[in-house]
Amino acid sequence: MTEYLSAVFLVGAGFFALVAGLGLVRFRDLPSRMHAATKASGAAFALVLGALILRLPEWEILGKSVLALGFAFLTLPVAAHLLGRGAVGVDSESDVPSEATSDRGEQ
Amino acid sequence: MLDIAYFLFCILVASGIAAALFRLWKGPTVADRLNAADVVAICCVGLAVGHGWRQGDGIWLDFAMVAGLVLFVGTTAVSLFIDPEDLSDLKDLTETEK
């Protein structure tokens, strides 16, 4: 029974990886693409780790999977946030987008 | 059953990687390319863990942990060097093309 469930998890992980790729191709602007790519790839990673836990129910696998998933869920949003800051042009000191500050300066 | 699931998984993830590679090739800004490269790398880690799933082997989890951390360091390092002027340059380019 758990074998079938883990197979379903694995196919779901592949589906979310495909969703991430399709979102990267189909969306129009950079924030939409980042939204699609980050969330869907995180879901795919979680599902493939869940499939592995269901296939091999051992404590060692569970601990390593929780560690890998924790690292991924900690680092993926932080990396996406840094990427968004760099793309929008937030100055690290002012915390305000450079376009907004320049508009304010012109007025 | 397991073979069919693994085959479907490989096809789906390969399609996702192909789509992300298309964005990596075409992507108008550096941020797009970096984002697409991130997705390609995560999908490759997922493929490795799926291979471990097929073989009933948990050794690929170590690779998944370390690759996730190294991926974060790489994305952070490159995103610190992204120049937001690229976006305005692109805007000027499209306006002049019209």
What ipTM goes with this model? 0.82
Q: Is B8–A14 a contact, with Cβ atoms under 8 angstroms apart?
A: yes
Q: For chain B, give the mean pLDDT.
A: 85
Query: Is pLDDT of B93 > 70?
Result: no
Residue found by looking up tokens 């997705």 in the block: B39
Integer Cα distance of A14 and A29 in angstroms = 24
Q: Which of B39, B57, B83 is the best residue to mutate to test the A interface, defined by the most A CB atoms within 10 Å of its own CB?
A: B39
pLDDT band at B98 (very low <50, low <70, confident <90, very high): very low
Query: Tokens 């000191």 sit at which residue?
Result: A93
Interface of A with B in 36-95 (CB under 8 A): 37, 41, 44-45, 48-49, 51-52, 55-56, 58, 60-61, 64-65, 67-68, 71-72, 75-76, 78-80, 82-89
| CATH number of the domain enclosing B70 | 1.10.287
The total number of structural domains that make up chain B: 1
Question: Which amino acid is located at A8 in the chain?
Answer: V
Cβ-based contacts of A82 with chain B (< 8 Å): 75-76, 79-80
Whether B58 and A14 lie within 8 Å, measured CB to CB: no
Q: Strand pairing partners for A90?
A: A97
Closest CA to A68 of B67, B76, B5, B41: B67
Residue that is written with structure tokens 């790489």 in the block: B74
**Pairwise CA distance, residues B81 & B49, whole Å:** 31
CA distance A44 to B29: 25
Can you tell me the distance from the alpha carbon of B8 to that of A7, in angstroms, rounded to the nearest whole number? 10
Per residue in A49-79, is it b (16+ CB within 10 Å) or e — as a string?
Answer: bbbbbbbbeeeebbebbeebbebbeebbeeb
Measured torsion, CA atoms of residues A11, A14, A15, A16, in degrees rounded to the nearest 10 = 130
The pLDDT of residue B58: 84
Say if residue A106's pLDDT is above 70: no
What pLDDT band is residue B81 in, cutting at 50, 70 and 90? confident
Determine the pLDDT at residue A93. Answer: 53
What pLDDT score does B73 carry?
92
For residue A90, the 8-state DSSP code is B
Stretch B16-21: mean pLDDT? 95
Q: Which of A13, A75, A1, A60 is nearest to B50 (CA)?
A: A13
Q: Average pLDDT for residues A39-45, to the nearest whole number?
A: 93
pLDDT interval class at A94 (50, 70, 90): low
Closest-approach residue (CA) in chain A for B22: A25
Percent of chain A residues past pLDDT 70, beyond the cut: 82
Q: Does B64 touch chain A (CB under 8 A)?
A: yes
